[in-house]
Amino acid sequence: MTPRIGKGREAVKYLLMIYAADQTWAEADEATREQAYAAHEAFGRMLAERGAMIGGEELAPAASATTVRATPGGFVLTDGPYAETAEQLGGYYLVEAAGLDEALDYAKALPAHIVEVRPIAG
């Protein structure tokens, strides 16, 4: 059997970006939050056991963001995230997968409603 060299064969890194409405999280009660953290812990353990976990963090609400733009006149700071959308980036996982299908399986297993899957360039 000839070795395959298509990129799908080798391990690729993917960033799984979790999008959610900040408000939903802010308004969640204690039990809901605990449940969510437990689900993320289980997800992280699953990734680690498979050797797929590289890293991941929860982000503070998007309202705490500051956007910095370099312009000819100097740096312009904006209070808030780069794009004002209903759902904001709320956290991420950096994973290693054999290909997109595996990365998509992780995204589906994630306790989140919207996940953007982006390969790391390389």
**Which residues contribute to the site for other proteins (CB under 8 A)?**
2-9, 12, 14, 97-101, 103-104, 117, 119, 121
Name which of 6 and 73 has its Cβ closer to other proteins: 6
Minimum CB separation of residue 23 from other proteins in Å reads 30
Contact 92, 83 (CB under 8 A): no
Name which of 9 and 69 has its Cβ closer to other proteins: 9
Residue 107 CA: distances (Å) to CA of 68, 97, 115, 116: 30, 11, 6, 8
Minimum CB separation of residue 14 from other proteins in Å reads 8
SS3 65: coil
Name which of 6 and 72 has its Cβ closer to other proteins: 6
Separation of alpha carbons 116 and 89, rounded Å: 10
